[in-house]
């Protein structure tokens, strides 16, 4: 299996099937692919004691990292072989405390994609459906055939 010849969707499907490893960020921020389709992705995530701020709550960086991951990967799922992306802008609105040691659902959908730019929006929700955070991203599409 050669990721350099696979589309973004094929890479993400291989990760979900366990044929390719999760990116190393998933060791720091426990995340797993739960569902994947073109322009859509759903992760499960779980904050633990490693992710607390000095006040004892889940650090905002956990929210941001999980949202950046699903938002970027929603865009990645639309890209061809050899095409990458990079986050240009990430906006995160934390609406409720994120529970520690409880699985949450993060999902994102592509809103717009062109040759050079992708835009996605996503959420983090509790298992019961409570909205915990909302985010948007703009990503630069890194195509080898388009001059920089």
As a whole number of Å, the CA-based R_g of the chain is 15
> Token pair of 76, please?
């990645």
Residue 146 has what pLDDT? 66
Dist CA 65 CA 25 (whole Å): 9
Q: Give the model confidence (pLDDT) of 109-132 as tens digits.
A: 999 999 999 999 999 999 999 999
Q: Give the model confidence (pLDDT) of 130-142 as tens digits.
A: 999 999 999 999 9
Length of the chain: 148
> Token pair of 141, please?
């599409």
CB count in 10 Å sphere of residue 7 = 18
Residue 22 has what pLDDT? 86
- Average pLDDT score over the chain: 93
This prediction has a pTM of 0.92
Q: Is the pLDDT of residue 37 over 90?
A: yes
């Amino acid at each position: 299996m050669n990721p350099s010849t696979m589309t973004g969707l094929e890479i993400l499907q291989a990760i979900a099937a366990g044929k390719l490893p999760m990116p190393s960020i998933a060791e720091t921020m426990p995340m797993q692919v739960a569902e994947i389709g073109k322009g859509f992705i759903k992760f499960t995530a779980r904050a633990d004691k490693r992710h607390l701020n000095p006040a004892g709550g889940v650090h905002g960086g956990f929210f941001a990292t999980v949202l950046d991951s699903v938002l970027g990967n929603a865009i990645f799922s639309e890209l061809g072989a050899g095409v990458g992306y990079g986050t240009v802008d990430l906006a995160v609105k934390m609406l409720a405390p994120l529970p520690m040691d409880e699985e949450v659902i993060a999902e994102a959908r592509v809103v717009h994609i062109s040759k050079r730019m992708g835009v996605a929006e996503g959420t983090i929700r509790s298992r019961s459906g409570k909205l915990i955070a909302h985010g948007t991203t703009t990503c630069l599409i890194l195509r080898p055939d388009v001059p920089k």
